[in-house]
Structure 1
């Protein structure tokens, strides 16, 4: 499903997302959207709750590999939970240049769909049963709507509790 009438003019990242979704048999709706200056504004633009925005975070493993952690917009990675699940003592967020090299996507556009390397995916259990969530679409100014359970199944994601509520802003 596509909201843009000219698919050929789409950025390369969107084409990769669309091709990977088709390969996986996953329904994805890619929409163009204006920039937002906060999670709440982004959710409002997409007619969603902040919890329905899926942050696709690239996490570096101690062995030099990576993984994707997909968590709700209103939550943050729980490092102890994710380390225990992955079975490692150390994980970190890589510099944006390293994340781009690992996925082929710039920060703010990252998605496991069409990643230049198909890293393992860990999807937060809070998404279970959510039929419409928005995630990065491979290009700035675009979002991809997916069914969270279908995404997890298509990607062979490990679904587990890997997040905590966001710390209060001061």
Structure 2
């Protein structure tokens, strides 16, 4: 499931160049976060969602949050001091990051965007996208925060399950 000798990605190369201790995990294509977590042998809370958020025309940020949490529009707007944010479409996200949806990561991104990390990443080992479908990087959340000088804040809510 993991080997460092298989084909690399810009994300893997960026983590290596930064000197970040990491493990590469490879698995088949998956259809959901839960499937990805199972394929990596981890809990959904340890699989990090990387979102690209448009703050204004031409201005974007990465938002990193655990897979078992829900993005809080209100908290992120308040943190950024704006009344309006949005998610770019798939084409715009690819133009900004160089990655297609489902593979987006700040590692090796085409643009070095500001990073906002949810407080739940601190002090934990996490799995973040490795820049290709079926590729993950297991890293210390604190190393990711440090590498990208991420702003750490409470930007998510506990996921509520349907009754």
Q: Fold conserved (TM > 0.5)?
A: yes
How large is the RMSD of aligned CA atoms in angstroms?
1.6
Size of the alignment, in residue pairs?
A: 162
Partner of 1:134: 127
2: CA distance between counterparts of 1:138 and 1:39?
15
Partner of 1:5: 5
| Superposed displacement of residue 41, structure 1 | 2.5
Matches within 5 A, 1:93-132: 93-130=87-124, 132=125
Partner of 2:51: 57
**Which TM-score applies when normalising by structure 1?**
0.88
| Superposed displacement of residue 133, structure 1 | 1.0
| Superposed displacement of residue 43, structure 1 | 1.6
Q: Which runs of 5+ in 1 are unaligned?
A: none
Q: Per the alignment, do residues 169 and 37 of structure 1 end up closer, same or farther by CA in structure 2, a change over 3 Å counting?
A: farther
Q: 4+ residue runs of structure 1 moved beyond 6 angstroms?
A: none
**Which TM-score applies when normalising by structure 2?**
0.91
Query: Structure 1, residues 52-71: CA drift from partner, whole Å, max 9, x if none?
Result: 00000000112431000001
Preserved contact between residue 47 and residue 67 of structure 2 (Cα < 8 Å)? yes
Partner of 1:145: 138
Task: Give the secondary-structure state (helix, strand or coil) at the position aligned to 1:30.
Answer: strand
Q: Per the alignment, do residues 164 and 55 of structure 1 end up closer, same or farther by CA in structure 2, a change over 3 Å counting?
A: same
Q: Which runs of 5+ in 2 are unaligned?
A: none
2: CA distance between counterparts of 1:125 and 1:115?
22
